[in-house]
Amino acid sequence: MNQTLSNKQLVSIANEFGTPVYVYHAEKITEQYHKLTNGFAKANARFFYACKSLTNINVLKHVKSLGASLDCVSIHEVMLGLKAGFEPQEILYTPNCVDFAEIEAAKNLGVNINIDNISILEQFGTKFGSSYPVLIRLNPHIMAGGNFKISTGHIDSKFGISIHQVRHIERIVKSTGIKVFGLHMHTGSEIKDVNVFLQGLEVMFEMARHFMDTLEVIDLGSGFKVPYNDTDIETDVASLGDKVAAAFAEFEKETGKSLQVWFEPGKYLVSECGYFVVKANVIKTTTATTFVGVNSGFNHLIRPMFYDSYHFIKNISNPKGSERIYTVVGNICETDTFAWDRTLNEVREGDYLTFFNAGAYGFEMSSNFNSRLKPAEVLVKDDAPKLIRKRDEFDDLLRNQVID
């Protein structure tokens, strides 16, 4: 597994800031963003960073400096984006199952709004008419993604308005005057086959014909895959970019309508930038297994337990030690196994282990379960590590509690 931060750098950060600690490499985010812009150079494309993957405001500011826009799924992500310096028109808000008051709050902030529910669309159109153009999130009924839990475009998904309800959408548009300037879809994450996007694009072009007078944008969501080990594949964004550009050019030739394509990369931008460094607390041998118990658990990195996700693990304190087989577990009063029967260089109590691909949905999905404290976050830019979130202290556990 390639790494852009060295063992020496990560050990130094662990010694300086303590463990567990999340470490993000700014230049890797930059590299990934440039892969996208270069890959889609032939297309009229715009990229919105899906900030649900990592919302630290310092990361948001770095992403903005690259020229990206921002994709948000809650009103508080919208507010974080504005705080980080994004202009309202640079923010796309795509909520699901929220109260109408939250959508109205986003409207008052002036951001792009993506509506995925017939009821909400009717309420919004009735109240605001044509004065505030919106996007509509459609469910294309395409099964895609690396895990059912992250597949969002299948027939039983809670996301989006079914493409078979287009007549209903048209009735609302006609009766309320609401202007639809964009159509959106997102089939899921960890998509290996670029043809899934093209399959979805065919559906979107067909839906576009119903809104030709006002349509400006087709948003294909994201789901670009990143490699989690040396044999894993990555979405070929250069090939996809060429195919998408050709498809949009053909659509324009056929209809005379020029549309912009939007994407919402999250994991693709920040997964590989992240390292999660933990300390080996204990080595415990049973009749069948040798456990490495570390000073973390699913309260800090839940993906292996929640999604059965693989994270490459490396002993950065003893990288040349003899290889042995370990099961890596956490310190939570629950089954929190990071990896079964994993080959690692010999682990000694006190060694530092690093989990790779920890930038996306690591800290974001963390909690204070077992009254454990959340880790610090460090951003490395120009080889200089900077603390961007302090480690929790005991008083943080009591914050907002009402004590008699």
Instruction: Measure the CA angle with vertex 380, ends 377 and 385; round to 5°.
Output: 75
* Predicted pLDDT of residue 140: 85
H helical segments located in 277-367: 303-306
Determine the pLDDT at residue 190: 63
Dihedral angle at the C-alpha atoms of 45, 48, 53, 54, nearest 10 degrees? 130
How high does pLDDT run on average in the chain? 93
Residue 232 to residues 205, 265, 311, Cα–Cα distance (Å) = 32, 19, 12
> For the domain with range 40-267, which CATH number is right: 3.30.70.1450, 3.20.20.10, 3.80.10.10, 3.40.50.300?
3.20.20.10
Domain boundaries, the chain: 40-267, 274-398
Binned at pLDDT 50, 70 and 90, residue 148 comes out as: very low
Q: What is the CATH number of domain 274-398?
A: 2.40.37.10
The full DSSP string for 18-85 is -SSEEEEEHHHHHHHHHHHHHHTTTS-EEEEEEGGG---HHHHHHHHHHT-EEEESSHHHHHHHHHTT
Query: Using one digit for the tens of pLDDT, what is the confidence trace for 193-234?
Result: 778 888 889 999 999 999 999 999 999 998 888 999 888 888
For residue 62, pLDDT over 60 is answered with: yes
- Give the model's confidence band at 323: pLDDT under 50 very low, under 70 low, under 90 confident, else very high: very high
The one catalytic residue among 51, 97, 273, 333: 333
Task: Calculate mean pLDDT across residues 80-109.
Answer: 97
Q: What is the pTM of this model?
A: 0.94
Positions at the binding site? 223, 303, 307, 334, 361
Q: What would the pLDDT profile of 265-299 be if each residue is shown by its tens digit?
A: 999 999 999 999 999 999 999 999 999 999 999 99
Q: How confident is the model at residue 159 (pLDDT cuts 50, 70, 90)?
A: confident
Query: Binning pLDDT at 50, 70 and 90, where does residue 145 land?
Result: very low
Please state the residue numbers annotated as binding site for substrate: 303, 307, 334, 361
Residues 47-56, mean pLDDT to the nearest whole number:
98
pLDDT of residue 142: 75
Question: Is 333 assigned a catalytic role?
Answer: yes
